[in-house]
Amino acid sequence: MSSRWSRGRLSVTAGPSQRRPSIVDGQRSERPKRTTDPFASWLPPRPDGDPLRLLLAPMDGVTEHVHRALISELNPVDTTLDRRLSAVDVCVSEFVRVTDHVVPVAVLWRHCPELRAGGMTRSGVPVFVQLLGSAPVELAATARRAVELGARGIDLNFGCPAKTVNRHDGGATLLRAPSRVERITAAVRAAVPPELPVTVKIRVGWDSSDPVESLAAAAEQGGAAWLTIHGRTRAQGYRPPVDWPAIGRAAAAVQIPVVANGDLHTPQDVAQCRYLTGCAAFMVGRGIMAAPNWFRWVRGLDSGPPDLPGLCSVWRRYAAQLRDSGASGRSALCRLKQWLRMAAAQRTDVVALFDRVKREMDVDAVLNVVAALECRRRSSQLTISASASPGAPAG
């Protein structure tokens, strides 16, 4: 396994005179501790008492409803507290594109089937519907329709870096005009019942992080309940480095909570990000593809990500649930290979597996390789365990 996957609870080590706070230490030492939960107006308190707020990011073509349900189920907390309690606080749907008309009900149901179940995953995690567009009237009307169908909140996407989206005046192109971010946010806020949150997701800027404070202020002035910031510019795409200090500047400029996003692969990453930003809420995207138990790991409930056989088990379960949901074989194949590809980009132990299956055109062929690898690795582990036991016969 790649060296980046160090195990352990969320903490940061430093010299005695430079000690950085761990996740349980609260805010940065130079900032006063919050005495109340900044999300209390919008989210119920966690029954386990954990002050962290952890959200699953929307990733177009990746985090569809089956994936959201599976990740919620793979991250339970103490079942003696609540059988349905998940370590995930909020899931956000893949974006729904809004152009010059109100999005039909059927499209909203397709993007967010959880609307038929009270706007929650099977594990009881609330799902926000994310809207992407630049027309305030149509966005507001679509948001109203989504909450009428059961959405637990509305998230506005001002961060998508895709060229096709940006050419059509959507996503990150709005970062060049903070006044438009404010105007759209205000229109949607006015259309949604006051007890439901309207949230905003941005990047730190278009080609520079200089305007991040102005963008944060625009979201706040528009009435956003909280602001999620991906720590890269649109020009960067997903190239390094991530700019966590810019997120910290934005957080210091506004009173609403800020959720930090970008390169949060391990608990140590979250601790470092918290130190640099002062944030107490974090959204994970690509990191979940290498550590599906990321939420439990960050909360200190697991000591590390699953091993490769554990990941294989997750992938087989995912494929089965995709099929149960009515996905075609081709759709299941594409989504499974997408997960493998994103995991291989982060974990060296997945690279050979992905190289072997990436040209396969049949989902069952991929699953056969995955299942065989899982069995072989588990058998090898059992053999090693047996040979190491005190009463094992000599080889």
pLDDT tens figures, 201-219: 999 999 999 999 999 999 9
170 and 291 together in one domain: yes
- For residue 223, the enclosing domain spans 49-298
Please tell me which residue in 91, 112, 160, 312 is annotated as part of the active site: 160
Buried b (16+ CB within 10 A) or exposed e, 122-133: ebebbbbbbbbb
For the segment 157-171, the average pLDDT, to the nearest whole number, is: 94
For the segment 336-356, the average pLDDT, to the nearest whole number, is: 96
293 and 361 together in one domain: no
Active site residue 160: yes
SS3 264: coil
Whole-angstrom Cα distance, residue 189 to residue 136? 10
150 and 255 together in one domain: yes
Supply angle C-alpha 243, 245, 246, rounded to 5: 70
56 and 131 together in one domain: yes
Domain boundary among 298, 331, 365: 298
84 and 178 together in one domain: yes
What pTM did the predictor assign? Answer: 0.86
185 and 216 together in one domain: yes
Residue 160 covered by a domain: yes
Residue 76 covered by a domain: yes
Q: Which residues contact 219 (CB under 8 A, 6 or more apart)?
A: 181, 182, 185, 200, 202, 227, 254, 256
CATH number of the domain where residue 218 is located: 3.20.20.70
Confidence check: pLDDT of 381 > 90: no
342 and 363 together in one domain: yes
- The structural domain count of the chain equals 2
pLDDT in tens, 24-34: 333 333 433 44
